[in-house]
């Protein structure tokens, strides 16, 4: 039976811990070599991921209605930034208590082997250059008649998508194994598992709370029953937990969005596929909490608030083009973790492990939240005759509760 990604990650993590406890220095030299080489390979592809995903997403915007598109994209970005802000505020309050003075940055008595060889793979451009160039190229293709440029960036995105699925995702469990061999061999693992367990529980709780907030706000704006809408989207939530892909779950989410009382089917046809590729509030929330936790563990202190603000602003932009690809969100984010928060290979490896383990919940939050955004967009662009259906749906729910 073929194992999925999460079982492979857990095996790599646990095996790395066990091997690290007993590994002689020559063996840690081999795993450190793997950590450095695989880390450099991942860093090489990060700017290409950011450029191709963002440029292709912006280039495709011209195929949609301007005002409707602008409102949907704007709502998605605002939703993501607010989710990140709540996650950041909560993390600054709670995470120091979780960590309780533990830090990977402390000097340890145990010495591990040095990498046998270090092979550099210099990226073609730095992270911010890739982001700016993607926006420029994408806008040029979107505003003009640059069909060739649009086709090129779309094909490049397809190539990078294949690289992610067939190369980067398969090597991540090996990278995680090498990371945790080093952490375990240095004796730095004590208490970290408890920290990660508490952090993952916090992430899941906040994701559920955020869904309630999204649908409450959407219900108030659309003058509809938020519980009815959320109930309609539950099959999409469950499906997304299995697929771990917003794009793969999109047919189910689209079908369920159309069952929300008062939803204009044309609005659902527009918003749900679009949000499957631009809306990542659940993933963004996870990445924010994980980044602050890993920063405390690896650097010994909370990151400056100014850096987290910049991180959240850029994160919302970066995730716009990476939402539909399994693992794409965290891979696209590695660049800003490195350039803004100063993460090294250990920090990036921890982020990969933590994100992938909870990805099933993050994806479910992303795709279910799309329904709330569709409800808001429907309030302003949907057909007015659907308001009768909203009222009928609310009366039906009220009668059931009585």
Output the pLDDT for position 304: 92
231 burial (CB, 10 Å; 0-12 / 13-18 / 19+) is middle
Retrieve residue 386's tokens. Answer: 């659907």
Picking from 218, 255, 187, the residue whose alpha carbon sits closest to that of residue 380 is 218
Retrieve residue 77's tokens. Answer: 């970005």
Tell me the domain boundaries of the chain.
5-401
Output the pLDDT for position 139: 75
Distance between the two ends of the chain, CA-based, in angstroms? 49
Output the pLDDT for position 90: 94
Q: Which helix (H) or strand (E) holds 7?
A: helix 5-22
C-alpha 70/C-alpha 28 separation (Å) is 52
pTM score over 0.85: no
Output the pLDDT for position 385: 46
Report how far apart, in Å, the C-alpha atoms of 209 and of each of 56, 92, 306, 354, 369 are: 32, 18, 26, 20, 11
Torsions phi, psi for 109 (to 5 deg): -75, -25
C-alpha 128/C-alpha 19 separation (Å) is 38
Topology of domain 5-401, CATH: 1.10.3860
Output the pLDDT for position 387: 46
Output the pLDDT for position 85: 94
92 burial (CB, 10 Å; 0-12 / 13-18 / 19+) is middle
C-alpha 277/C-alpha 252 separation (Å) is 15
Output the pLDDT for position 371: 93
Residue with tokens 């790395």: 16
Residue with tokens 């850096």: 307
Over its length of 402 residues, how does the chain's per-residue pLDDT go in tens digits? 566 666 777 788 888 888 888 888 888 888 888 888 888 888 888 788 778 877 776 776 655 446 777 888 889 999 999 999 999 999 999 988 887 766 555 445 456 677 787 777 788 887 778 878 887 887 777 776 667 777 888 888 888 878 877 887 788 888 888 888 887 787 666 556 778 888 889 999 999 999 999 999 999 998 889 999 999 999 988 888 766 666 667 778 888 998 999 898 888 888 887 787 788 888 899 899 999 988 888 887 889 999 999 999 988 888 876 555 556 677 778 888 888 888 887 888 888 877 877 777 888 898 899 999 999 999 888 875 444 444 444 444 444 444
How many CA within 13 A on the CB side of residue 260? 39
C-alpha 181/C-alpha 189 separation (Å) is 10
Retrieve residue 346's tokens. Answer: 């250990």
């Amino acid at each position: 039976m073929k194992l999925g990604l999460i079982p492979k990650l857990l095996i790599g993590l646990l095996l790395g811990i066990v091997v690290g406890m007993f590994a002689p220095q020559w063996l840690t030299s081999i795993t450190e070599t793997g950590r450095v080489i695989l880390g450099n390979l991942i860093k090489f592809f990060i700017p290409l991921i950011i450029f191709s995903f963002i440029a292709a997403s912006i280039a495709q915007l011209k195929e949609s209605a301007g005002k409707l598109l602008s409102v949907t994209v704007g709502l998605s970005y605002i939703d993501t930034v607010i989710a990140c802000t709540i996650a950041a505020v909560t993390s600054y309050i709670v995470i120091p208590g979780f960590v309780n003075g533990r830090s990977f940055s402390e000097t340890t008595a145990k010495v591990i082997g040095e990498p046998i060889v270090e092979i550099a793979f210099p990226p073609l451009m730095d992270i911010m250059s890739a982001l700016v160039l993607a926006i420029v190229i994408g806008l040029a293709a979107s505003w003009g008649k640059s069909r060739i440029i649009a086709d090129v960036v779309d094909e490049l995105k397809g190539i990078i998508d294949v690289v992610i699925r067939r190369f980067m995702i398969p090597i991540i469990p090996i990278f995680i194994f090498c990371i945790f061999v080093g952490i375990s061999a240095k004796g730095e693992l004590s208490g970290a598992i408890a920290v990660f367990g508490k952090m993952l529980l916090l992430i899941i709780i906040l994701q559920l709370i955020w869904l309630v907030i999204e649908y409450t706000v959407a219900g108030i704006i659309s003058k509809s029953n938020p519980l009815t809408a959320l109930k309609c989207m539950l099959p999409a939530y469950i499906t997304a937990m299995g697929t771990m892909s917003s794009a793969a779950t999109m047919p189910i989410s689209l079908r369920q969005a159309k069952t929300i009382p008062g939803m204009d089917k044309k609005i659902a046809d527009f918003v749900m596929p679009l949000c499957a590729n631009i809306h990542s509030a659940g993933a963004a929330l996870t990445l924010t909490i994980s980044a602050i936790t890993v920063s405390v563990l690896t650097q010994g202190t909370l990151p400056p608030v100014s850096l987290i603000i910049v991180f959240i602003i850029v994160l919302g932009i970066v995730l716009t083009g990476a939402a539909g690809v399994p693992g794409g969100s965290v891979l696209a984010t590695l660049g800003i973790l490195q350039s803004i928060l100063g993460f090294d290979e250990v920090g990036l490896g921890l982020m990969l492990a933590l994100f992938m383990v909870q990805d099933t919940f993050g994806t479910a939050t992303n795709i279910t939240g799309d329904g709330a955004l569709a409800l808001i967009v429907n309030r302003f662009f949907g057909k007015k005759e659907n308001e009768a259906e909203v009222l009928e749906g609310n009366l039906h729910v009220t009668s059931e509760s009585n």
